[in-house]
Amino acid sequence: MKPKRIKKLQARSRNLKVMTLDARTMVVESRSDEFNNHIVKVRFGRRGNVHTECTCDWSKYNGMACAHTMAALEHLASRKGRRLSFWLREDEARRQKQRVFYMEGGEPEEGVWITSRAS
């Protein structure tokens, strides 16, 4: 299950504070509850595949590419001087002529495409 309005979600994710725990683990503030935070874990696989996990409800019920994982990935990218964009379809991502990553979903076709550009 992936978000339908991914651009809107990405815009919201830009306002979330991110704190790094270690190279693969980040704490991201909750948008709905200011006293709550979510833990995002990121693992980079082969061929540009990215696997993420988050402790929010959306992720708990098999959702992927929540605002927290986007914020965490954007945070990692920003430290390398990169900015990310998220896409629901591969052809949209390829059209950007940028470096492309694939955020894995629970099912083979359920992932989200990510492009990375110099910021």
Query: According to CB under 5 A, which one of 26, 68, 113, 115 is a site residue for Zn ion?
Result: 68
In the complex, the smallest distance separating the C-beta of residue 54 from Zn ion, rounded to whole angstroms, is 3
Site for Zn ion, residues 31 to 50, rule: CB under 5 A: 38
In the complex, the smallest distance separating the C-beta of residue 98 from Zn ion, rounded to whole angstroms, is 25
Total count of residues recorded for the chain: 119
Q: Does 2 bind Zn ion (CB under 5 A)?
A: no
At which residue do the structure tokens 């076709």 appear?
109
In the complex, the smallest distance separating the C-beta of residue 45 from Zn ion, rounded to whole angstroms, is 20
**DSSP E strand stretches across the chain:** 18-22, 25-29, 37-44, 49-54, 82-87, 99-103, 112-118
Residue number, 88 or 117, with CB nearest to Zn ion: 88
Q: How far apart are CA 83 and CA 80, in angstroms?
A: 9
- Segment near Zn ion (CB under 5 A); pick from 16-24, 55-63, 74-82, 101-109: 55-63
Q: Does 56 bind Zn ion (CB under 5 A)?
A: yes
In the complex, the smallest distance separating the C-beta of residue 118 from Zn ion, rounded to whole angstroms, is 27
Q: How far apart are CA 108 and CA 119, in angstroms?
A: 31
Q: How far apart are CA 24 and CA 7, in angstroms?
A: 24
Query: According to CB under 5 A, which one of 54, 65, 84, 93 is a site residue for Zn ion?
Result: 54
Q: Determine contact, residues 56/13, Cβ cutoff 8 Å.
A: no
